[in-house]
Amino acid sequence: MNEEDKNAYIRYSLEKADETFEVTILLNDNFKWNSTINRLYYSSFYAVSALLVQDGINAKSHSGVKSMFFLNYIKTKIINIEYGKLYSDLFDWRQKGDYGDFFDFEGNDVKPIIKPTKELIGIIKEIINKKNK
């Protein structure tokens, strides 16, 4: 991927992260808990994917993105471990909410992770912006 394509991908992914997070708020406000979890996961996934591309790290699957994120940013303490746990939980919960039979999240499961997810996206944007200066 050339530099122009890389930068376009990063911008697009961060825009998707923001847009998806906005949808999260709408779903939350309408008590659609499983869908809120799904959108929280995807908003963070888009941001993490942008970060990996920024640093030239390839991942071909959602599991690969998670593994590379932990290896390169959580384990190295670039990003606090609490956000690594959050991303891991969102990864697991999204699958549980999307594919688990007869399973529904409750508001008290979902509401406490909205703000930390927004914080994670912000942290990732800061890292990317610092590297682009």
Number of structural domains found in the chain: 1
Give the residue ranges of DSSP H helices in 30-133. 33-54, 62-69, 81-99, 107-110, 114-131
pTM for the model stands at: 0.95
pLDDT at 45: 98
The chain-wide mean pLDDT, for the chain, equals 95
List the CATH number of the domain containing 48.
1.20.120.330
pLDDT above 80 (res 102): no
pLDDT above 90 (res 114): yes
pLDDT at 54: 96
Assign 104 a pLDDT band (cuts: 50, 70, 90).
confident
Domain that holds residue 69: 3-131
Token pair 């790290």: residue? 57
- Rounded Cα gap, residues 115 and 5, in angstroms: 31
